[in-house]
Amino acid sequence: MLVINSYDEFASYEGKELGVSEWVMISQDRINQFADATDDHQWIHVDQEKCKTESPFGQTIAHGYLTISMIPLMWTQIIKVDNLERMMNYGIEKMRFGQPVLSGQSIRLRVSLDDIQNLRGAIKTNVKFAVEIKETGKKAAEGIATFVYYFKK
């Protein structure tokens, strides 16, 4: 795991890979819980029997936003920012879904630091990310996530 304590340390990784997370399995139970939390019970996510005969994938798939919602968990496996007052998500740009994640498949996060800006008391980072699927070697999603970090004074 990468440990960062300051702007200068963070800036030294600009244009470089920050790391890769562990694999996280996306179970049907996790998909069902996400469906309940978001009230998105579309059959392609939750109806295993119907998916066997009517889905082009032959089984249920994770919600795209479930896949994206796993980024914070996987991010904490890659980097730890010490001396931090707070961190805020600022946005996601150029985000694209590639392959659907089938129930039972595993995903991981690969990130690199695309850009960093010193904002007088805070730093804004643009991080290129790719969510990879273990079983296919393909990307489930990719884009640029922006975070703002406020270091303790």
Q: What is the pLDDT of residue 87?
A: 92
68/63 Cα distance (integer angstroms): 9
Q: Are 90 and 144 in contact (CB under 8 A)?
A: no
Torsion of CA 87, 92, 97, 98, to 10 degrees: -80
Q: What is the pLDDT of residue 78?
A: 96
35/40 Cα distance (integer angstroms): 5
pTM above 0.85, yes or no: yes
pLDDT < 70 regions, the chain: none
Q: What is the pLDDT of residue 124?
A: 95
42/36 Cα distance (integer angstroms): 11
**pLDDT tens string 123-149:** 999 999 999 999 999 999 999 999 999
Domains and CATH numbers, the chain: 2-151 (3.10.129.10)
